[in-house]
Amino acid sequence: MYKLHCFSQSGNSYKVALMLQALGQPWEAVFVDYMGASQTRQAGWREEVNAMGETPVLETADGKRLAQSGAIMHWLAERHGMFGGRDADARYEVLRWLLFDNHKFTSYFATYRFSKAFIAAEPDPGVMAFLRNRIDSTFGVVDRHLADRAWVVGDGPTIADFSMAGYMFYPVEESGMDIAALFPNIGAWMQRLRGLQGFREPYALMPGERVMPLR
């Protein structure tokens, strides 16, 4: 049985949760109180769970603690022989999109949403405008990529899809961006993700009270 250290606002954790669901693997959540107690920043948590101070962390049955969603999903894909890409070319493509996702597709949007919805101090409008510009450009790249294909790589879901799905299913009011309406090919891809085995939205899949957006 896998244990996933996570909290409901964490889209990076959601990537792994979604994959475990699609694999049909039993897992249990270990709640990390980030929103209330900033648990990932506590020295004890870092010593015991993840020195990088981040969720997700996946605990395996033999006690390994794995961190970084992309590395965790790569490990799961190898372990279960699914979603890693069917040949060397596909695996290269999966890696290319995972890196693009970690650098741009997830990170700008996650930072924008978190700053808008959950940080008490009013975000700097210049920073928000910068992030929004980067999001529009990056989401445009992905929308064009998905114009004539159902999945990010090949003809079925891979860990590239799970990675890029991390922040797609949070309520529109958190980011103020209706992604499916703004980027229709991403919207159609989201519908396909909804059809995968075990799909549930982040607040239904991971522990932690929903917090209403501050603005």
| Residues of this chain that bind ligand GSH (CB under 6 A) | 10-12, 40-41, 53-56, 68-70, 102
Closest approach, Cβ 28 to ligand GSH, in A, equals 19
Kind plus residue range of the DSSP H or E element containing 3: strand 2-6
- Give the nearest distance from C-beta 12 to ligand GSH in angstroms: 4
Name the residue nearer to ligand GSH (CB basis): 12 or 115: 12
Cα separation, 94 vs 192, whole angstroms = 18
Whether residue 56 has a cis bond before it, omega within 30° of 0: yes
Question: What tokens were used for 143?
Answer: 């929308």
**Residue 71 C-beta: closest distance to ligand GSH, Å:** 8
Nearer to ligand GSH, 53 or 187 (CB): 53
User: At closest approach, how far in Å is the CB of 147 from ligand GSH?
Assistant: 26
Alpha helices (H) along 119-214: 125-145, 159-164, 172-175, 179-182, 184-194, 202-205
Question: How far apart, in whole angstroms, are the C-alpha atoms of residue 168 and residue 106?
Answer: 9
The residue (of 56 and 85) whose beta carbon lies closer to ligand GSH is 56
Which of 74/193 has CB closer to ligand GSH?
74
Helix (H), strand (E) at residue 30: strand 27-31
- Tell the smallest beta-carbon distance from residue 36 to ligand GSH (Å): 13
Q: Which is nearer to ligand GSH, 35 or 82 (by Cβ)?
A: 35
